Structure 1
């Protein structure tokens, strides 16, 4: 969608987020979840103004603008001091690339789980655009973690699922987006237990 000069660019992105919601509803109406990753991630980017100059969803903008693990924060701080002292733009960009290769953007609640939740809710009562938006906004969180922490999630078989504690009504981690991190010992900034 081409926006006219002087109009707020956010209007276009909000429209794009609604288009992604419509894609998700279309998939749910047909009982499909195969392409949910693309639609859900695109929705999140548009809804949170994580977009490129051309108006496309831009994942890299999420990398340091989300929750971060303590170890990822340390990497950021260590590189930030070097980056701030560098005057050459090529050297600065090289440092940023090296820093960003040490971390990854993680879906705090894996998309496989979110897709299952969406499908189950849609089968109970068909979701509307608004109810879908509310559900996604409660379930989608990204966290910047180190590559080592990502490997730890895989070793503990929590890369695409939530731990049992997430589903246990009486557990302190019931429904908590950070349950996988607590269960694997990954400390997240601003999460008090």
Structure 2
């Protein structure tokens, strides 16, 4: 058997990935890769990508739960497919799923838990929307605070700088520059 790589993910900076790392090490992971961000997309998951690139035949990628890998059925199956293409094994601890390309039931289980993750994501978003609407009715919710200063954008624009240069200097997107100028 080859090496065991672990993968952990937390959704926000204020969450601690150390508990997941310790459990994965206890399951035999010699290296644990971890990302911070939601599981709704594979975009920006640089550590997951690194782990997948490092897999060699006979290696194992282990995660504690399916939703730590992805909250989307397609993404979860894509990860599984990439692991199998490397002739490696995807092992999920809870529920126990071992995906090596030989057991159809493991793929069915992965699909089911991917669907559960998608439903969970849907319910979380629905609860969030209801909470925001309730806060708006009470006059408490005002939206996310602005992260850029429209005055800074206007000042740079008055100095003759274009949107691209303003965006670079302020480390924001060009669309944000245009919105600030239009406001």
User: Of the two structures, which has the highest relative contact order with CA contacts closer than 8 Å and spacing of 6 or more?
Assistant: 1
Q: TM-score, normalised by structure 2?
A: 0.20
Q: TM-score, normalised by structure 1?
A: 0.19
Q: Rg bigger for which structure?
A: 2
Between structures 1 and 2, the one with greater strand share: 2
